[in-house]
Chains A and B, each alone.
Chain A
Amino acid sequence: MIAFVLRRVLASIPLVLGIATIVFFLLSLAPGDAASLFVSPNITPEVLEQMRRNMGLDQPVHVRYFRWMSAMLRGDFGISFSRNQPVADIIVQILPNTLILSFCAFLLAFTAGILVGVLQAVRQNRLTDSSLSVVGLFFYSMPSFWLALMLILIFSLGARNLWGWPIWFPASGMTSVEYPFMSPVEQLRDRVAHLVLPSVSLALVLAAGIARYMRGSMLEVIRQDYIRTARSKGLSELSVIFKHALRNGLIPVITLFGLYLPFLFSGTVLIETVFAWPGMGRLVVDAIFQRDYPVVMAGTFIFAIMVVVGNLVADVLYALVDPRIRYD
């Protein structure tokens, strides 16, 4: 197993470097550069030229590429053009925010998705099943930013201003303005409260998809002989479903895990924008619009690693749930 993981990690190095190379050259094809986004008659062409020199943009693209690559291999991501800070400093500030949000959304999505899927399979074609299907499709077909706005209108604006509900959630940010002055317990509560709406709007859409997969695979599994054997042994229904059937039923869902993991780091731009969550998606998209190559490259690099890690984790999980799969 360890040998397998090592092999996979080694094999992914050229893959990640290849992705970074392609992105670098694609970016250099985009019209304009970071300096040309300073639009003001107060900026003379000489100043723009000097800016380009200071940013290293006066060099031909292959020189820039080798400089970037050699610096990056030494762990130096360069300096952001638009934010005037070392890229590594920015990533260190931003990446944890994304990890927190993604982790919560993931946890919610898979817990809810798997449970709903199992429940639907067990109650196949009954009212529970079909009504959950309708609810699932409703969320599945809803754009996440729209869902996000609706959640804000209901649980933030409506709950507080219109209906005076006892519980309402903050509409934006990671913490309240008074956060630094709170006790540790209040700080934790504040953080969790700020997490609820963004992670729910990310998770609902994912969970709906996961539930569909889960339902399908569970239905297949519970018809198999070994399940009948388990039942005839006199095992309780719970033990049959959660001990025997669930493990096999999870295999296709694990594939989803590998697929969704990178998505959660990059595909959250809209959610991050709506909830003013300072995350990686916003960072990279803003950087693309500002032609801030060092940030885009660093972001892409991290996303590429996430894809590789996501798939690796999925492969390892296969082995854990399915004893037939072995990596020797």
Chain B
Amino acid sequence: MRIRHVLGRNGVRGPAFVALTLLLSACGGGDSAGRALAGLPEFCQEVLPRVEAYLSQFEQPSGERYGGTAVVGTIGEMPDGMNALVSSDYSSSQHQSFVNLMTLIDFDEDFEPRPYLAESWEFDEEAETLTFRLRDDVRWHDGTPTSAYDVEFTFSRAIDPETAFPNAAFWTHYEKGPDAVEVLDSLTVRLKVAPHAELLDPWRATAIMPEHLLGDVPPAQLRQHPYGSRCPIGNGPFVFEAHQADASWSFVRNPAFPEALGGPPYLNRYVYRIIPEQTTLLTELLTENLDFYVAPGPDQTPQIESAERLELRTFQFRSYDLVGWNARRAQLADPRVRQALTLGTNREEIVQAIRRGFGEVANAGVPPYHWAFFEGVRDSLRYDPQRAAALLDEAGWIDRDSDGVRENADGEPLAISIKYNLGNQQREDIAQIMQAQLQPLGIAITPQVVEWGTLLNQINTPDIRDFDGVVIGWVTEFKLDDHDLFHSEEVDQPYGWSGTMDPELDRLLDTLQTVVDREEALPLWREYQYRLLDVQPYTYLYHIERLAGLNRRLQDVELDARGEWVNIREWWIPAELR
């Protein structure tokens, strides 16, 4: 007893007191308030007070739905922040388009363009010009009106090679050079553009950036400008509040958001939390510290479904998983072998095992809800080991020495390695399931794990291409274009993984992008998807059905292929649950 007493006095309390004092001093640092300026770069110290001053003139809206904080949890940081001119990552793009910034147009529920920052637009086919007329009631969060000069700035930086904008290819069919863009008046801007499919899409995907803040920044330095992650000044429904690296982003309502666009958002505040471990994310959702868990794993669905206050939602997304084949390899050169690999893989079972059924077997990169989707390929290449075996026999791969593995006439075995990236359990499982399913057919599959950066180097570098097959996925835009994947011209470019050269595919890929009219394009899209079945550069696995774990208190969350944040302005929380 006495020992404990002494320890209590000298051993524990002393250091504990020191610890508390240290913690206190640590708390006194930069992050105690939502927007402490100390420690921020000079640019931020200058612009953030202007935002404060401008927005404080506005009265916060009142009404039944207004109020509360919504917390969204995801696994990753937004490395590109709110800088649309460097951005390529999904969460960043979503926040630029729907939260902090605005795009000229956006998509409605049927994925058709509708006015947003642009009030109207006109495409003059004869003169090959596209003219946007901007709304006159949108202002940057520091009070400066959003104008045609901002559009001109965004476009000219996006196509400037010095910027190295990752999505510069969006504007392939837009004219570049000094006369490419013309400001007619402060709200009207005209661009020169060759007629092509989905020509408005770049303006949905890339948000407009503020010229008055970034106009002087040299293009090559835009990427590292503090605007992106330290103090973005947008014009969208939410105003940037704070960003704590690797921990969270927070935004508050923009009380000045135009009434004509629906007015200020219902939520007072919106927080994006970064939690890199799925089990922790699920715990935070279950303990109601999160309102929205973005993309939980399929294995976590039973726990979400069984929790009374939570809701599991699913929606068709624009991403798919696949096994890419390297047809430069002797075993994979014959399209019949690649078809046999697809036929011999029970993809339905893979969807069940890997995604718990949250997905749909794919035969092309066109998602099932897309207007270009061809019903006729939905059930093609279903699991059929007999047909697979027949195709292999036909291609000359026969088990000549009865060792269980087929050989060609030269006695080379049909051995194929399938690579996947380190730490991706789903892809590892896929490689192993395929190994098991294809083994009875006499195909020896070896799953092989490679670290992600190394894997990309092995598959994307034209002189290396050190792989037979690779389990990987693509996320697409609404404007579909497989030119970089399958066109003969791309065989020695990074994404020409398969190395297949098919004149028929080339013709279709070339024409598809020039057809403006959908009715006219549809038969070509059908032909294209049909042709892919024969060429089989990939074994398409499935279109992903994306998951969302939601707390029921968060109301009116719309979920579709446009992305999780599409209607964040309309999310609301009943007063008694705030």
Q: Interface residues, chain A, CB within 8 Å of chain B?
A: 30-32, 36-48, 50-51, 53-54, 79, 82-86, 89-90, 92-94, 96, 99-100, 103-104, 107, 111, 115, 119, 149, 152-153, 156-157, 160-161, 168, 170-174, 176-178, 180, 184, 187-188, 191-192, 195, 238, 242, 273-276, 278-279, 282-283, 289-291
For this complex, 22 residue pairs linking A to B, each with C-beta atoms less than 8 Å apart, are: A36-B460, A37-B453, A39-B456, A41-B169, A41-B485, A48-B494, A85-B230, A89-B41, A104-B19, A149-B279, A157-B283, A161-B286, A161-B287, A172-B275, A173-B248, A180-B33, A187-B32, A188-B23, A242-B6, A276-B276, A278-B244, A291-B453
Q: Which of these binds chain A: B77-85, B318-326, B391-399? A: B77-85
A44 and B168 contact, CB distance less than 8 A = yes
Residue from the list B32, B39, B86, B283 in contact with A84, Cβ < 8 A: B86
Asked, given contacts A43-B166, A171-B283, A188-B27, whether A31 binds B230 with beta carbons under 8 Å apart, the answer is no
Q: Which residue numbers of B lie inside 8 Å of A, CB to CB?
A: 2-3, 6-7, 11-12, 15-16, 19-20, 22-24, 26-27, 29, 32-34, 39, 41, 69, 71, 77, 79-81, 83, 86, 88, 161-170, 220, 223-226, 228-230, 242, 244-248, 250, 271, 273-277, 279-280, 283-284, 286-287, 289, 451-454, 456-458, 460-461, 477, 481, 483-485, 493-495
Selected contact of B19 from candidates A47, A107, A172, A187, CB within 8 Å: A107
Secondary structure at the A interface, as helix, strand, loop or mixed, is: helix
Nearest CB in chain A to that of B40: its residue: A89
Q: Known contacts A45-B493, A47-B164, A152-B280; is A96 also within 8 Å of B26 by CB? A: yes
Query: Smallest Cβ distance from A321 to chain B, in angstroms?
Result: 16
Of the candidates B15, B23, B41, B168, which one forms a contact with A42 in the assembled complex, judged by CB atoms under 8 Å apart? Answer: B168
Pick the residue among B11, B77, B453 that contacts A289 (CB under 8 A): B453
Pairs of residues from A and B, 9 with the lowest C-beta to C-beta distance, nearest first: A278-B246, A41-B484, A32-B457, A50-B164, A276-B275, A31-B457, A180-B34, A278-B247, A42-B169
Residues of B within 8 A of A104 (CB): 19, 23
Kindly state the separation between the CA atoms of A94 and B27 in the bound complex, as whole angstroms: 14
Given A79-B224, A94-B245: A289 in contact with B451 (beta carbons within 8 A):
yes
**Residue B245 contacts which of A44, A83, A156, A176 (CB distance < 8 angstroms)?**
A83
- Inter-subunit contact A90/B166 (CB<8 Å): no
Asked whether B289 lies within 8 Å of A171 as measured between CB atoms, the reply is yes
Q: Which of B166, B248, B277, B453 contacts A40 (CB 8 A)?
A: B166
Of A45, A99, A276, which contacts B494 at CB under 8 A? A45
Residue pair A30, B454 in contact (C-beta under 8 Å) = yes
Does the CB pair B164–A54 fall under 8 Å? yes
Residue pair A32, B284 in contact (C-beta under 8 Å): no
Contacts of B165 in A (CB 8 A): 47
Question: CB-CB < 8 A to B27: which residues of A?
Answer: 184, 187-188, 191
Choose one: B20, B83, B280, B451; the contact of A274 (CB below 8 Å). Answer: B280
Given contacts A40-B167, A171-B283, A172-B277, 7 further A-B contacts (CB under 8 A): A41-B484, A54-B220, A107-B15, A171-B284, A173-B275, A192-B23, A276-B275
Please measure, in the bound complex, the distance between the C-alpha atom of A45 and the C-alpha atom of B166, giving whole angstroms. Answer: 10
CA distance A225 to B224 in the complex (A): 67
Which of A50, A115, A291 has the largest count of B CB atoms less than 10 A from its CB?
A50
A32 to B26, CA, bound (A): 39
Is B248's CB under 8 angstroms from A50's CB?
no
CB distance from B412 to the nearest CB of A (A): 28
B164, A51: Cβ atoms closer than 8 Å = yes
Contacts of A46 in B (CB 8 A): 161
Would you call A156 and B287 a contact (CB within 8 A)?
Answer: yes
Across-interface contacts of B279 in A (CB, < 8 A) = 149, 152, 274
- Tell me, in angstroms, the Cα distance from A149 to B273 when the chains sit together: 19
Interface centre among B33, B245, B274 (most CB of A within 10 A): B245
A149 to B277, CA, bound (A): 10
Which A residues lie within 8 Å of B244 (CB)?
93, 278
A313 to B246, CA, bound (A): 31
Cα distance, A186 to B529, chains bound together (Å): 60
Identity of the chain A residue whose Cβ is nearest the Cβ of B466 in the assembled complex: A31
Contacts of B29 in A (CB 8 A): 96
User: Which residues in A have their C-beta under 8 angstroms from that of B230?
Assistant: 85, 89
Closest Cβ neighbor of A122 among chain B residues: B3
Contact partner of B224 (CB less than 8 A), chosen from A36, A86, A92, A283, is A86
